[in-house]
């Protein structure tokens, strides 16, 4: 079954809007795994506008499920990852001022850079994933970098789902098949929600992990965090 990793950045955004320590990010991470999440994702950015580097340090010792850190591989980011040693690092091509992730890597143009970065992570025993568009050519180039997995950037699917689910998911099915054929593990994330998640996973059941933050935390305002995580897990359990 596809695993659910909860991105808790929005918890930190709410905390930082007021200052102080409410809501508590560490408590949220512990609760998410207690409520059934099979992973916790954080995306620390250089300006620390949501998850702070010290949040990452605090969370790592108490997480018993998978810990995934995503972000642009600057030296400061890489130093943090080497320090805390998460189970997985997901490389995202975000510029420092990006509000949210809005594109995957051009793995052809950036192949040499990604290859060097990924080697350093793998030498440290950390599984790697590359955030990538649903593009079969770029997935083939991703394989050349030595990465363990790719994470499909699913915002285009989420946008197209309302008008034509089959058409929206088709390029992702093709990309997922290409990844499977060349031996790459497969994750997915960005704008997946209670509305569109089940159809996506039913179309690509070999996805190993989805990372969901904004929609899930927003739903939790209405349904409660524990209930919301269970709702998402039921969407993933398509059997």
Query: Which of the residues are catalytic?
Result: 43, 70, 190
Bridging pattern class, strands 185-189 and 66-71: unpaired
Assess contact for 38 and 212: CB atoms under 8 A: no
**At residue 238, what are phi and psi to the nearest 5 degrees?**
-85, -5
Task: Give counts: helices (H), strands (E), the chain.
Answer: 11, 8
Cα radius of gyration rounded to whole Å, the chain: 17
195-202 contact pairs (CB < 8 A, 24+): 195/161, 196/157, 196/158, 196/161, 196/165, 197/232, 197/235, 197/236, 198/235, 198/236, 198/238, 199/161, 199/165, 199/169, 200/154, 200/157, 200/169, 200/172, 201/2, 201/235, 201/236, 201/238, 202/238
**Which helix or strand (DSSP H or E) is residue 149 part of?**
strand 149-153
């Amino acid at each position: 079954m596809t695993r659910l990793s909860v991105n808790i950045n929005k918890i930190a955004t709410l905390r930082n809007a007021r200052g102080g320590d409410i809501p508590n990010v560490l408590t949220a991470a512990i609760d998410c795994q207690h409520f059934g999440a099979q992973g916790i994702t954080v995306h620390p950015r250089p300006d620390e506008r949501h998850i702070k580097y010290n949040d990452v340090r605090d969370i790592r010792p108490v997480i018993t499920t998978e810990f995934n850190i995503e972000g642009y591989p600057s030296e400061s980011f890489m130093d943090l990852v080497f320090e805390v040693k998460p189970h997985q690092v997901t490389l995202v091509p975000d510029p420092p001022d990006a509000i949210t992730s809005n594109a995957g890597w051009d793995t052809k143009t950036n192949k040499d850079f990604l290859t060097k970065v990924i080697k350093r992570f793998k030498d440290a025993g950390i599984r790697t994933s590359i955030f990538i568009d649903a593009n079969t050519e770029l997935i083939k180039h991703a394989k050349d970098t030595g990465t363990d997995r790719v994470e499909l950037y699913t915002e285009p699917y989420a946008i197209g789902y309302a008008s034509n689910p089959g058409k929206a998911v088709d390029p992702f099915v093709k990309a997922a098949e290409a990844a499977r054929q060349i031996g790459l593990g497969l994750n997915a994330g960005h704008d997946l929600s209670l509305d569109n998640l089940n159809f996506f996973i039913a179309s690509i059941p070999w996805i190993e992990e989805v990372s969901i933050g904004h929609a899930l935390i927003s739903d939790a305002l209405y349904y409660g965090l524990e209930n919301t995580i269970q709702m998402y897990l039921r969407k993933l359990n398509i059997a």
